[in-house]
Amino acid sequence: MKSPSNLAIRLVVLAVALASLSVGAFAVTPVKHRKKAAVKTAAKTSPAKAASGASPKTVVRRTTVARAGAAASLARTPRRRAWVQTWDEPTYKDSTLGDLTEGEDPVVRQAAVEALGPFNGSVVVSDPTTGRILTIVNQQLALGGGFQPCSTIKVSVGLAALKEGLVDRTSPARFYSKRSMDLTDALAYSNNYYFANLGIKLGYERMNYYARLFGYGEKAGLNIEGEHPGYFPPAPPKEGGMGMLTSFGEEISQTPLELAALMGAVANGGTLYWLQYPRTPEDVKTFQPQVKRNLDIGKLIPDMKPGMRGAVEFGTARRAKQDDEILGKTGTCSEGRTHLGWFGSFNEGSGRKLVVVVMLTGGKPSIGSMASSVAGDVYKKLASAQFFRNPMPLTPATLLPSAFPH
């Protein structure tokens, strides 16, 4: 495979940097356009002077002077600015409406609902050792067609690059500037340039192979009513190419269930379980785990964990930090006119293991760091309820050897 030129790499990195500026909630008109608009307005409001042959600049100058007194007077009077919403989805709503909770773990459900609070979003909590979903807050959102994964795609990109031998945890990657960064810091700080360059090196075919291996573009659940699969594009994005695909997840649709399944595989050492969602107490009693496929990533996970741990310790997910160890990856971007905030995570320690995925949608608060805060609250509330210290209930899932990763 022919390696890309330095110019191509710089162009993609520039596209990534420009795209990162698009998440602001307000649009600003360039100065030159405002000047043109002022000239047109002045000509309309002063037709006599415009007809007399005065230049547009003169008209603007005279108009400005004539209005100076009025402007000074208005400056003394406080004026309320009109509030304009620039996103399509509301930031706040009751995200529990329509949820059917029979079969869920009531303790986990309560913690997730309280942690999400008034935000418009979804929380999915699952057991990474069995694939059982313990709760889904906002089931309509979680089971829908998915959303752009933003920077959570970097987990898949990192695993793919490690598997292909393109990078290791400690080798720094140097950008076109003098700055360099290794995989740990790139994950912790969610560095777009680093993962854009990995995307170029991987190329579409290899990234497509690994993305589908990790569950993108297919249902994550087994016979879960109402679930829709996500989507992985058949070609690199036209705007930004592989750099945008592997740094922002451009043109990919990811469901919270897809991210929960992948996080579960990273947490348990490489077993991608079918997520199952018991809907009755009887379903819980007879639940048995089902392996979707075994991912050959066991040797790669130790190179991924320091960066995912660093995200919580000192990086983009600092709001999730708790007494117990949490690892995860944030994601922040805009899809159309809506802001998205993701956080996929799992805990480590001597007690019970959980995967917690949070997805927020709406206005400016819908960002990855806020999603990590919600997840951190879930862990905190469950720790207070002694959830992690309690033994798992005796069911076929906990008795069968297949319930544990291999």
8 A C-beta contact, residue 284 and residue 103: yes
The mean of the pLDDT values for the chain is 82
Residue 273 has pLDDT above 90, yes or no: yes
Residue 82 pLDDT level (bands cut at 50, 70, 90): low
Using a pLDDT cut of 90, give the percent of the chain over it.
Answer: 70
List phi, psi (to 5°) of 144.
-75, -165
> And the tokens for 385?
């309820």
Q: Which residues pair with 276 in a beta bridge?
A: 132
CATH number for the 106-403 domain, one of 3.40.50.300, 3.40.710.10, 3.30.750.80, 3.30.950.10?
A: 3.40.710.10
Residue 168 CB neighbours (<10 A): 12
CA dihedral 299, 304, 308, 311 (to 10 degrees): 160
Between the alpha carbon of residue 164 and those of residues 227, 313, 387, the distances in Å are 32, 28, 39
The edge-to-edge listing of strands for the beta sheet with 121-126 is 133-137, 121-126, 355-362, 338-348, 325-335
Cα 135 from chain centroid? 20
Q: Write out pLDDT tens, residues 113-146.
A: 999 999 999 999 999 999 999 999 999 999 999 9
- Specify the pTM: 0.79
List phi, psi (to 5°) of 124.
-120, 125
- Domain boundaries of the chain, sorted by first residue: 25-75, 106-403
- The mean pLDDT of 92-112, rounded to a whole number, is 97
- The mean pLDDT of 76-94, rounded to a whole number, is 71
Residue 388 has pLDDT above 70, yes or no: yes
> Is the torsion defined by CA of 124, 128, 134, 140 positive or negative?
positive
Residue 231 burial (CB < 10 Å; 0-12/13-18/19+)? middle
